[in-house]
Structure 1
Amino acid sequence: MSTSDVPETLAEIRDSFLETPEADRLLLLLEFSDELPPVSDDVASHPEMYERVAECQSPVYIHVEVDDGIVTMHATAPPEAPTTRGFASILVQGITGLTVDEVLAIPEDYPQSIGLTKAVSPLRIGGMTGMLMRAKNQVRKKS
């Protein structure tokens, strides 16, 4: 598992999960679910800008902006899908404010590195991986 290219915010989030007893990690993920930042009015009023994350069973949509080389990630996930919403929140909080190069350097196995592979299904980890890959693809296209 690669850890050298994990940006500081995502490394801190990963470390928080790994320092939390395995039995309590799902509760930490649910806390992130409650912290998913709302999308800006500009983005909310243009749903056509969103990309559906097909890897997620729940309707998750992401949109990435690149302004002067700095990335802002937006995501929507329904409240009734707290696990997926938590993963989206981790990525939004961890990616927003990074440079293009930092986002593109995030290891593809980051979702597997945060210590939740026993707490949630592989399908859900795959959903988070899908969010990360789609975010990176959008960054590539927009930079």
Structure 2
Amino acid sequence: MPPALAQVVEDFNDLEIPDRLQLLLEFSDGLPPLPQRYAEHPELLEPVPECQSPIFLHVEVEGDDGDAVVHLYFSAPPEAPTTRGFAGILHEGLDGLSAAEVLAVPMDFTDHLGLGEAVSMLRLRGMAAMLFRIKRQVQEKMAG
């Protein structure tokens, strides 16, 4: 697991369950706004229908195979703090990493956050779906 994402997992596991929810809300508040180039063209973002709230994402990969860097962009409404929080975690843990590092993230990393007792499994599956789409977009951009 990349160091930034491992730190997020550690931060969650250092807290009691109610405090984990508070940290999730902090990640929600910390999600960067969508850049204008995507805000004006929402059709460029991919929906994640597995999430209970509407969320859209886009992945950019800059550079060549050996030094390709991944940038993540999310659009989620403020009235969906859990979904925004999950997007914030992924942004914090993955944005700016190499494509290889992003692709190496285990799909079950969401299980390690310790949120299973705090949020529904349906919500955690939504976060896993975000990660799946991120990895798929990275693979597609690296291939083509």
TM-score (ref. length: structure 2): 0.93
**Corresponding letter in the other structure for 1:73:** L
2:18 is aligned with 1:39: no
2:25 is aligned with 1:30: yes
Match of 1:117 in 2: 116
1:9 Cα deviation from its structure 2 partner: 0.7
**Corresponding letter in the other structure for 1:132:** L
TM-score (ref. length: structure 1): 0.94
Please list every run of at least 4 consecutive aligned residues from structure 1 whose deviation after the TM superposition is greater than 6 angstroms.
none
Show structure 2 runs of 5+ residues with no match: none
TM-superposition CA deviations, 1:24-54 (whole Å, max 9, x none) = 1101101111001111112222211100001
Q: Distance in 2 between matches of 1:47 and 1:21?
A: 38
Match of 1:21 in 2: 16
Match of 2:2 in 1: 7
Q: Distance in 2 between matches of 1:114 and 1:86?
A: 12
Query: Counterpart of 1:140 in 2: which secondary structure?
Result: helix
For 1:1-143, list aligned pairs within 5 A: 6-68=1-63, 69-143=68-142
Query: Counterpart of 1:109 in 2: which secondary structure?
Result: helix
Q: Distance in 1 between matches of 2:92 and 2:58?
A: 14
Q: Identity of aligned pairs, percent?
A: 52
Show structure 1 runs of 5+ residues with no match: 1-5
TM-superposition CA deviations, 1:44-66 (whole Å, max 9, x none) = 22211100001101110000000
1:114 Cα deviation from its structure 2 partner: 0.6
Structure with the higher fraction of residues in helix conformation: 2
RMSD between aligned residues? 0.8
Query: Counterpart of 1:34 in 2: which secondary structure?
Result: helix
**Corresponding letter in the other structure for 1:120:** V
